[in-house]
Chains A and B, each alone.
Chain A
Amino acid sequence: MKESSVPIDNHPLFDLRGMVALVTGGGSGLGREFCNILAEFGAEIICPDLYKDRAEETCDMIKRNGRKALAMEVDVSKYDQVQGLFRQVDKAFGRLDVLVNNAGITSRPCPIDQLELEDWHHVLNVNIHGTFYCMKEGLRIMMRQKRGSIINMASISGMCGVEPEIGPMAPYITSKSAIIGLTKQGAAEYGRYGVRVNAIAPGWHFGTRLSTDAGIMRTEEEVQKRKQLLASRTPLGRTGEPRELKGLMVYLASDASSFVTGQIIASDGGWTCL
């Protein structure tokens, strides 16, 4: 964690001190990166994850760097658990400034006609319903304080679809499209309360749990082959690294983006050029 060793910054434009940030699925992959960078810029972190031990690992890293962090075991697809989470946030912190709806899953690649209904529902439950539940509860706190920044995780695949050779994952892609709709509607409805809602649409990144969970890559050789395929079709000529999304996270979480809302920002090396 080289980045975490950088001294806490105190630039007013990007300063997150005094703010409370919640990152769902913060126990691993991108979620962990987000927790770390938000903490590095001064925020107190709430880290709910389906796996408590992973959430605790993230929080231990943050605490070692002298910041407050709270690990929680939460399944975002269960509304009562999400309600409990936000009740506790309100009780323990009394505020919520940044909500990152990062928790997300994918099913294995499979053409639509062969999809198991169970896979379809499972992915949509976590990705769409989870994001909706957290927005519903989080917005209530943010409305009250008349400020807040919600950052949803979309995907470029939710903007343009992808060829079967690259990733036939209709449930995931559908869920990411839905998140784009939820983002824009949230921005339209809550702008008047000083709440901004934006989404990050990552392109092809390696080194996250999601990309390995998809089960697309099995051997190191296959990983390299896939990387090459994706890189060859990306204008920047490479795939992304999870750390490259951290800057965008800080920009969207902080006052530096105080007039940016309803935006779906692609960080994809030029894949979509939208």
Chain B
Amino acid sequence: MEVGPVCSISLALKWRRDVDRSAIAGISGGVEGKVTIVTGGGQGIGKEIAFRLSSFGAKIVVADINEERASEVGQLIAEREGAALSIGLDVSSQESVTHLISQTVEKFGGVDILVNNAGINKSTFIYEEVKEEEWDKIFAVNVKGVYFCTAAVIPIMKRQKGGRIINIGSGAGKTGAISGSAGIHYCASKAAVMCLTKSFARYLGPHGITVNAIAPGLVDTEMTKDWSALKERSAMNTPLGRITSPSDVANAVLFLASEASSFITGEILDVDGGLLMD
């Protein structure tokens, strides 16, 4: 799997806490010291996001349904002298989300950045065979989860007169599933995430809170490890000739979380090597 140049840079970067973090600060303020919640931060894209923002000095709350994985990531960050809190989280449970927010506020005193990354895709690909339970499960995590987490940070961000919310959407939420790359319910759930993004952007703008989404193409993670034929086809159809890496997404999150994007809101940023260009 070709991973492209940024990956190697990010590997070098990930654990170098001595590097000059003023890159974005040079423009007008970075993410240093910012309290950042990453849902689904225990693995895949979320883990990469947690590491990337931590390497730029953010305080990270690693929240994951798998508490063990969350604490592994939290520990790795702590070992590199980053501030981290790891916590078990079921985004589809309002109670669990409330607990996450109270723990975050108790430990770090607020929330500056929320990355709604938690999502599931394991599903039936044959459209007419989706069972009610599976449909509900996907929507509970991918849509309700984004809604609950966002709603929960609104009072805090309003009080702070600012904040950043970054949702992970998907190209599949725009095009529909292409040749069995995802279930129909998954695609619909990601379309909903992007609509939540725009609605919240309009609603929260007056409070100085920006809400944006990233729409990656097929990402090279644990979740997609068995999809080699699909990945190959996707890379072939992509102008930049490969699929998305978690690092590509993490870099975009870093940009949208920093002050460098202060006038950007309601935007869906495709990180897909030119696959869609819609």
Binding site for B on A (CB under 8 A): 3, 6-7, 9-14, 37, 40-41, 184, 187-192, 194, 196, 203, 234-237, 240-241, 243-248, 250-251, 255-263, 265-270, 272-274
Cross-chain pairs A/B with CB under 8 angstroms, 10 sampled: A188-B274, A194-B240, A196-B240, A235-B203, A235-B266, A245-B263, A247-B258, A256-B6, A266-B264, A273-B202
Q: Are B274 and A187 in contact (CB under 8 A)?
A: yes
In the assembled complex, the Cα of A260 lies from the Cα of B248 at a distance in Å of 8
* Chain B residues with a Cβ closer than 8 Å to the other chain, count: 57
Within the complex, the shortest CB–CB distance from B160 to chain A, in Å, comes to 16
In the assembled complex, the Cα of A189 lies from the Cα of B251 at a distance in Å of 24
B188 at the A interface (CB under 8 A): no
Within the complex, the shortest CB–CB distance from A153 to chain B, in Å, comes to 15
In the assembled complex, the Cα of A267 lies from the Cα of B260 at a distance in Å of 11
Q: Are B274 and A12 in contact (CB under 8 A)?
A: no
Within the complex, the shortest CB–CB distance from A155 to chain B, in Å, comes to 14
Binding site for A on B (CB under 8 A): 4-6, 9-10, 12-13, 19-28, 198, 201-206, 208, 210, 238-242, 244-245, 248, 251-252, 254-255, 258-274, 276-277
Across the interface, which residues of A come within 8 angstroms of B27, CB to CB?
3, 37, 243, 246-247, 250
Q: Are A14 and B24 in contact (CB under 8 A)?
A: yes
Across the interface, which residues of A come within 8 angstroms of B264, CB to CB?
248, 265-268
Within the complex, the shortest CB–CB distance from B233 to chain A, in Å, comes to 16
Known: A247-B259, A265-B269. 19 other contacts (CB 8 A): A9-B23, A11-B21, A11-B23, A13-B254, A41-B26, A235-B205, A236-B205, A236-B265, A244-B262, A247-B258, A248-B264, A250-B260, A251-B260, A258-B5, A260-B248, A266-B264, A268-B264, A270-B202, A272-B266
Q: Are B263 and A191 in contact (CB under 8 A)?
A: no
From A184, A235, A236, A247, give the contact of B24 (CB < 8 A): A247
The 6 closest A-B pairs by CB, nearest first: A247-B260, A191-B239, A235-B205, A273-B266, A11-B23, A262-B277
From B10, B202, B261, B269, give the contact of A13 (CB < 8 A): B10
Q: Are A246 and B201 in contact (CB under 8 A)?
A: no
Across the interface, which residues of A come within 8 angstroms of B262, CB to CB?
244, 247
From A13, A194, A261, give the contact of B9 (CB < 8 A): A13
In the assembled complex, the Cα of A273 lies from the Cα of B22 at a distance in Å of 30
From A12, A259, A273, give the contact of B12 (CB < 8 A): A12
Within the complex, the shortest CB–CB distance from B248 to chain A, in Å, comes to 4
